[in-house]
Amino acid sequence: MSSRTRAPRGSYSVGIARRQRIVEAAAERFAQEGYHRTALSRIAEDVGITEGGLLHHFRSKKHLLLAVMEHRFTTAAEWWARLPGETTGPDVLRAMVGATERHVAEPGLIELFVLTSAEAADPTSAAHTLFAERYQRAVEELAHHLRLGVERGTLRADTDCTAVARECIAVSDGLQLQWVIAKGALDLAGAVRLHADRIARTITPDGHGL
């Protein structure tokens, strides 16, 4: 095979790797400094390219924002997938609190989540598709872990795992909105912990909280 044939493939691979570095650098900047306070030039500098080079991969800051949110959702899904196989029902609820604590450590990404979730209400937007897939995957994943708790006897047999999963995700996302509106004054992890404890008291066989 000639070098002329191999070049495009290598160039494509380099492009994919650079795109990933841009997303990771943007996620870090957005997480710590916020979306509106971060200039594209700073992200480009972090990656070692020009702002024009960054715009070659992402046509606008808005396109980069969606890529960062997709990265966040993928990272979150991978984190949930690494839960130990012996995780109990209450452990799953505690993991929700742990996930929230991870979010609080990256406040800028909470702001991004709220910002893009508003756009997701428009069925013609790219954010709509991204969030629809995110919610379907998140509900299925959480419900799966809860069902394992039912099978092991750590949750009540009559637990509607899908309904509980939807409620927990809705509360978590709603509290993130309130956290942003309160400018971080809300104890986000504490509020999620309180809800998880209340849920635990209704779906564990002994009625104990967390």
Q: What is the mean pLDDT of residues 11-26?
A: 81
Predicted confidence (pLDDT) per residue in 38-90, tens digit: 889 999 999 899 989 888 898 888 888 888 888 888 888 888 888 887 788 89
Alpha-carbon distance 23 to 31, whole Å? 12
CA distances from 197 to 97, 102, 150, 203, 204 (A): 10, 19, 17, 10, 10
Which pTM value belongs to this model? 0.79
CB atoms within 10 A of CB 6: 10
